[in-house]
Amino acid sequence: MPDENLVASHYTHGSLLDAIASGLEELGRSPETAGVDDLAPVDEFHIGGRVATEHFLDQLAIGSGDHVLDVGCGLGGASRFSAERYGCRVTGIDLTREYVEAGTVLNSWVGLADRIHLEQADASAIPCPEAAFDRVYMLHVGMNIADKHALASELHRVLKPGGRLGIYDVMRVGDGDLEFPVPWAGSPEGSSLARPDEYKQALDEVGFRVTMERDRSGFAQQFFAELQARAETAAGPPPLGLHILMGETAPTKVGNMVENISRGRVAPVELIAEKPVQAS
């Protein structure tokens, strides 16, 4: 079961903000001129990047008056996208302090500091009152959290009755040992995958009603094929990309992920659930 320090140390880079600023500069941008879309190659740390975020979040029907919680927000890419696209207010929490600190600076670079608040916290003990949020979502976070029931219970507690939850995680869909490292863990000790049925059972037990489940393996394979095609024609990695977050082992992590998906062991899966207005 992944321990908190193991998870945070897996994701900690050390000089992330400098690396992002250098990448932006190479692209002819600066903190003064950067927009939300400029950061998308590096701040959307999940399969399919911005395209996946857009597809996933559009299903949550987020309104401009909503207060949204981004659980395991990382650098806050999806938080900034939500604030800009839907005009909502966003709170993001993440275990990795460096992501929260860098993400907070990125919010100010793109002029969204007044609408997004990021804070270091554990998704299994969210430091927010009951029914504080209209929408709650999580992108590629559950793979690091062993106790899905405790997680589901916290997500349910902080969501308003009638509110909607979205989960987009890598889940176990078949048997066989995984190849490591993968983007979310260097070894099996850091990984805590569960099957869609286990997620749904945990959600059901705490009072959610699951309304949609979608396996995004086909989309993922196409995404990785396009990534591969671009890499083959490029002289090197782009100035901004997820290789900055994944470090030297990025090619191995991505290669193992592609292998694990194509062998049917894991898949990126979307789940949408509702918190009924009256508990059933």
CA dist., res. 254 & res. 246, Å (int): 9
Q: Is residue 81 a contact residue for ligand SAM (CB under 6 A)?
A: no
Which run of H or E residues covers position 172? strand 159-172
Considering beta carbons, is residue 28 or 45 the nearer one to ligand SAM?
45
- Element containing residue 135 per DSSP (H, E): strand 133-139
Q: Quick one: tokens of 181?
A: 């490292």
Which 212-271 positions form the footprint of ligand SAM (CB under 6 A)? none
User: 212 near 203, Cβ under 8 Å?
Assistant: no
Closer residue to ligand SAM, CB minimum distance, 12 or 30: 12
Q: What residues between 20 and 49 interact with ligand SAM by CB under 6 A?
A: 44-46
- 66 alpha-carbon distance from chain centroid: 20
Nearer to ligand SAM, 7 or 175 (CB): 7
Residues numbered 119-158 forming contacts with ligand SAM, rule: CB under 6 A: 122-124, 139-141, 144-145
Kindly state the tokens that stand for 225: 């094929």
Q: List binders of ligand SAM among 168-207 (CB under 6 A).
A: 183-184
Tokens 């806050």: give the residue: 76
Phi (first) and psi of residue 127, to 5 degrees: -80, 55
Q: Is 104 in the site for ligand SAM (CB under 6 A)?
A: no
Q: Which residues bind ligand SAM (CB under 6 A)?
A: 7, 11, 44-46, 72-74, 77-78, 93-96, 99, 122-124, 139-141, 144-145, 183-184
